[in-house]
């Protein structure tokens, strides 16, 4: 139960009175508008976590009611208004936004600060909305499809530098710093001779600027070196696994022997100074941008998002187990019952993934969590028949490929692309969310969670509208 904020005084918020005034939103907007759905739904949620930071604060004017601010942000994201400045403008000009804020209109800085402060608190709201969707019968757990999409970060390609250029730039800056220090010592000696003693600890502006720049470049070099070391460790593990499989099957190595694993970054490896957490990724338009790899697990029945996350890794293979674990945690916290057979025993949840998620370890871990995975083990060409099965599968990969090729597996896997991919289209095309506004991986994850939360709210609203019209 939500604890009532008795001890704190907030600015008055009376949405019912706003709706009844002359030229009020209640008389101008459609009866079933999304804003009225949120005004009825949000106050029923447990938002006590949003109130906590303000309870013991006695300085300044009373803050805006957190329930109103949550409702404002949710509605803005539902209708595709993500910028805090545009939200503030809409609070002055848009009738639906006025229905939420009335005459107490927050400025853009208040909206931006509230969003940053409470990004983690929206995790609880995500689970609560998922619980409402489950109670409404919108989650069936008959097929949970997981996929990722690249979303551009708040970082520019022009604020990046390659590792090879960093080495040259660092050497140049060290030489310039040494020359400036020598010049400063000479100037100090001349001043001492002409003017007497002085403190001598003043740092020339040019020297300070170069030292700051050198420190920034060296930090970026360390990030690239750490990333290269991690990739080298992964490559050694992959080679060891492949060699063990060849030894088991007696398959000889084909082609040339692989080159030694490189632990130093490639000269063309880049990192960004604006948002170092992001990596440059290939986008759908065949270009390259600094992006976050946004993940989503979607239920087949009504395209409700069960779990979401953002990673800086371009490959989806490492996201299989974490997304399955997060999905199962959300399902349990939301109180959604898993499917059962005729005898009442709990069944495994069918889960579909494209070829980018498959590995033997990933499939095994997902199955242990309570899922029945169907994973493509390689790219499948369209409109071509599956190759005939000539002998029983011997490896885990062959077992998975045979499982997907069965009639039940083909029917289940064929639904994957119409479950999760339209969700990304609804978010990117219909609502126009194509770029993260915040920086830092934790903030980006919170922003993506807010986007996915409002996707589920839109599904609930449209389902409620459909019930009314029936």
Per cent of the chain over pLDDT 70 is 86
- Token output for 435: 């770029």
Which single residue is written with the structure tokens 């010049």?
183
| Higher pLDDT among residues 385 and 71, named by residue | 71
| Other Cβ atoms within 10 Å of 203 Cβ, number | 12
d(CA 351, CA 407): 16
Instruction: Name which of 67, 91, 74 is nearest 13 in CA terms.
Output: 67
pLDDT digits (tens, 9 = 90+) for 353-401: 998 898 888 999 999 999 999 998 877 665 556 555 556 777 888 888 8
- Rounded mean pLDDT, 405-434: 93
Per-residue confidence (pLDDT) for residue 200, from 0 to 100: 47
How far from the centroid of its chain's Cα atoms is residue 389's Cα? 40
CA distances 331 to 105, 164, 320, 363, Å, are 37, 47, 17, 20
Q: How far apart are CA 356 and CA 315, in angstroms?
A: 7
Please give the average per-residue pLDDT across 149-161, as a whole number.
78
Taking the CA atoms of 130, 136, 141 and 147 in sequence, report the sign of the dihedral they define: negative
- Rounded distance, CA 146 to CA 197, Å? 71
pLDDT band with cut points at 50, 70 and 90 for residue 203: low
Q: What is the pLDDT of residue 22?
A: 61
State the DSSP string of 29-87: S-TT-HHHHHHHHGGGS--HHHHHHHHT--SSSPPPPHHHHHHHHHHHHHTT---HHHH
The helix/strand/coil state of 305 is: strand
Average pLDDT, integer, range 318-346: 90
pLDDT band at 65 (very low <50, low <70, confident <90, very high): very high
Contact 142, 301 (CB under 8 A): yes
Q: What is the CA radius of gyration of the chain?
A: 28
Q: Torsions phi, psi of 374, nearest 5?
A: -125, 105
Give the number of other Cβ atoms within 10 Å of residue 304's Cβ.
25
266-271, long-range: CB within 8 Å, 24+ apart, which pairs?
266/163, 266/228, 267/162, 267/163, 267/164, 268/162, 268/163, 268/164, 269/162, 269/163, 269/224, 269/227, 269/228, 270/160, 270/161, 270/162, 270/163, 271/160, 271/161, 271/163, 271/220, 271/223, 271/224
pLDDT at residue number 235? 79
CB 451 within 8 A of CB 172: no
Q: What share of the chain is helix, strand, coil (3-state, %, to 5)?
A: 55, 10, 35
Whole-angstrom Cα distance, residue 193 to residue 183? 15
pLDDT given for residue 80 in this prediction: 95
b/e code 49-79 from CB counts within 10 Å (16+ = b): bbbeebeeeeeeeebbbbbbbbbbbbbbbbb
Sign of CA dihedral 50, 56, 60, 65: positive
**DSSP 3-state assignment of 233?**
helix
Alpha carbon of residue 111 to chain centroid: 20
Residue 204: which of 223, 185, 218 has the closest Cα? Answer: 185
Residue 334: strand, helix, or coil: coil
Buried b (16+ CB within 10 A) or exposed e, 276-296: bbbbbbeeeeeeebbbbbbbb
Q: Residue 468: which residues within 8 A CB-CB, separation 6 or more?
A: 32
**For range 103-128, the mean pLDDT:** 94
Q: Mean pLDDT score of the chain, rounded to an integer?
A: 84
């Amino acid at each position: 139960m939500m604890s009532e904020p008795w001890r704190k005084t907030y600015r008055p918020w009376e949405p019912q009175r706003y709706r009844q005034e002359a030229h009020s939103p209640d008389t101008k907007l459609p009866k079933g508008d999304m804003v009225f759905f949120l005004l009825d739904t949000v106050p029923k949620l447990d938002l006590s976590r949003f109130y906590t930071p303000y309870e013991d604060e006695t300085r300044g004017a009373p803050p805006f009611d957190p329930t109103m601010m949550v409702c404002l942000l949710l509605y803005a994201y539902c209708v595709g208004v993500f910028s805090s400045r545009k939200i503030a403008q809409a609070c002055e000009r848009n009738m639906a936004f006025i229905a939420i804020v009335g005459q107490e209109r927050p400025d853009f800085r208040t909206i931006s600060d509230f969003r940053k402060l409470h990004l983690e608190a929206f995790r609880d709201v995500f689970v609560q909305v998922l619980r409402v969707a489950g109670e409404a019968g919108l989650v069936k757990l008959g097929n949970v499809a997981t996929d990722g999409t690249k979303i551009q970060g708040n970082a520019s390609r022009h604020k990046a530098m390659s590792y090879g250029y960093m080495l040259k730039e660092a050497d140049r800056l060290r030489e310039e710093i040494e020359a400036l220090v020598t010049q400063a010592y000479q100037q100090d000696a001349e001043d001492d001779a002409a003017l007497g003693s002085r403190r001598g600890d003043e740092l020339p502006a040019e020297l300070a600027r170069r030292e700051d720049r050198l420190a920034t470049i060296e930090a970026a070099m360390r990030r690239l070196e750490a990333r290269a070391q991690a990739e080298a460790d992964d490559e050694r593990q992959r080679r060891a696994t492949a060699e063990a499989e060849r030894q088991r099957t007696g398959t000889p190595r084909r082609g040339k022997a692989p080159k030694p694993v490189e632990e130093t970054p490639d000269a063309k490896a880049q990192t960004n100074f604006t948002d170092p957490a992001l990596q440059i990724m290939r986008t759908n338009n065949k270009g390259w941008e600094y992006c976050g790899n946004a993940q989503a697990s979607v239920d087949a029945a009504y395209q409700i998002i069960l779990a979401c996350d953002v990673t800086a890794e371009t490959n989806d293979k490492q996201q299989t187990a974490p997304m399955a674990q997060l999905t199962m945690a959300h399902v349990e916290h939301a109180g959604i019952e898993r499917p059962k057979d005729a005898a009442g025993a709990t069944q495994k949840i069918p889960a579909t993934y494209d070829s980018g998620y498959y590995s033997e370890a990933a499939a095994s871990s997902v199955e242990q969590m309570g899922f029945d995975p169907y994973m493509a083990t390689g790219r499948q060409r369209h409109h071509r028949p599956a190759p005939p099965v000539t002998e029983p599968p011997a490896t885990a990969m062959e077992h998975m490929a045979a499982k997907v090729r069965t009639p039940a597996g083909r029917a289940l896997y064929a639904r994957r692309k119409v479950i999760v991919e339209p969700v990304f289209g609804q978010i990117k095309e219909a609502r126009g969310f194509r770029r993260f506004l915040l920086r830092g991986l934790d903030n980006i994850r919170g922003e993506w969670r807010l986007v996915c939360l409002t996707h589920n709210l839109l599904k609930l609203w449209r389902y409620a509208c459909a019930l009314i019209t029936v």
